């Protein structure tokens, strides 16, 4: 996983609350292989009209914002389904950080697993950033080490779970850490089988019951 330390990049304001995962990537595109890239489907139905033409006044379609690597949105960004494809769409488009007052829990977790920083800011600070970007098309600097976002005269703090911060700073992958815990897992299983003997499914492939 690519580490995230400090990023200075163009940012796009998306002044909407509840940008859910169905907006981030509509379900009909999720059959495709990741190898094809999901960036073209990011916010598809907000970016394009029914006949496939770009919606001119959508911020991400405006020339200065097209190359954004940072998105600033309102509360509850990424609410909804667990589809990691929502994060793939952002990452494949080139987005490396989303700034919002709150995030869907599963989305935020998926984001961190793909090196995308979910930076949580206060409502007022978020509005200030949106206002600034609407006026000036500024670049933002996001510093994960110091947990600050700065642009021109503005400098605001952001919050992130400390564990996620460490993981992003180092680009760590959980699986290798887990595999090193094999002994602890074996010990847990041994104890657990006497405490909760009813955990194991009774049949591997039952004949199937006939009533509900």
How far is it, in rounded angstroms, from Cα 145 to Cα 141? 12
The reply on whether position 124 binds other proteins by CB under 8 A is: no
Q: Which residues contact 57 (CB under 8 A, 6 or more apart)?
A: none
By three-state DSSP, how is residue 124 classified? Answer: helix
Residue ranges in 63-92 that form contacts with other proteins under rule CB under 8 A: 74-76, 79-85, 87
Residue 161 in contact with other proteins, rule: CB under 8 A: yes
Contact 114, 91 (CB under 8 A): yes
By C-beta, is 30 or 154 nearer to other proteins? 30
Decide whether 9 or 46 has the Cβ nearer to other proteins.
Answer: 46
Residue 141 Cα distances to 19, 107, 121, 129, 210, angstroms: 23, 23, 14, 12, 61
Binding residues for other proteins, rule CB under 8 A, total: 69
Q: Which residues of this protein are in contact with other proteins, per CB under 8 A?
A: 15-18, 20, 22-23, 26-28, 30-31, 34, 45, 50, 74-76, 79-85, 87, 102-106, 109-110, 113-114, 127, 161-163, 166, 174-175, 177-179, 181, 184-185, 188-189, 192, 195-212
């Amino acid at each position: 996983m690519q580490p995230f330390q400090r990023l200075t990049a163009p940012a796009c304001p998306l002044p909407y609350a509840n940008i859910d995962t169905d907006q981030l990537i509509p379900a009909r595109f999720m059959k495709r292989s990741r190898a094809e890239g999901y960036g073209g489907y990011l916010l598809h139905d907000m970016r394009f009209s029914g006949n496939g033409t770009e919606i001119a006044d959508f911020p991400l379609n405006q020339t200065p914002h097209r190359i954004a690597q940072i998105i600033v949105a309102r509360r509850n960004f990424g609410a909804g389904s667990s589809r990691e494809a929502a994060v793939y769409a952002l990452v494949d488009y080139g987005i490396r950080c989303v700034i919002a007052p709150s995030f869907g829990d599963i989305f935020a977790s998926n984001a961190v697993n793909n090196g995308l920083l979910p930076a949580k800011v206060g409502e007022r600070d978020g509005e200030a950033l949106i206002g600034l970007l609407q006026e000036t098309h500024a670049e933002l600097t996001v510093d994960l080490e110091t947990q600050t976002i700065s642009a021109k005269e503005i400098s605001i703090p952001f919050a992130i779970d400390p564990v996620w911060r460490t993981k992003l700073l180092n680009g760590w992958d959980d699986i290798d850490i887990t595999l090193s815990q094999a002994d602890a897992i074996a010990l847990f299983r041994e104890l657990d089988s006497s405490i909760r003997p009813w955990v194991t499914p009774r049949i591997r492939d039952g004949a199937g019951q006939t009533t509900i």
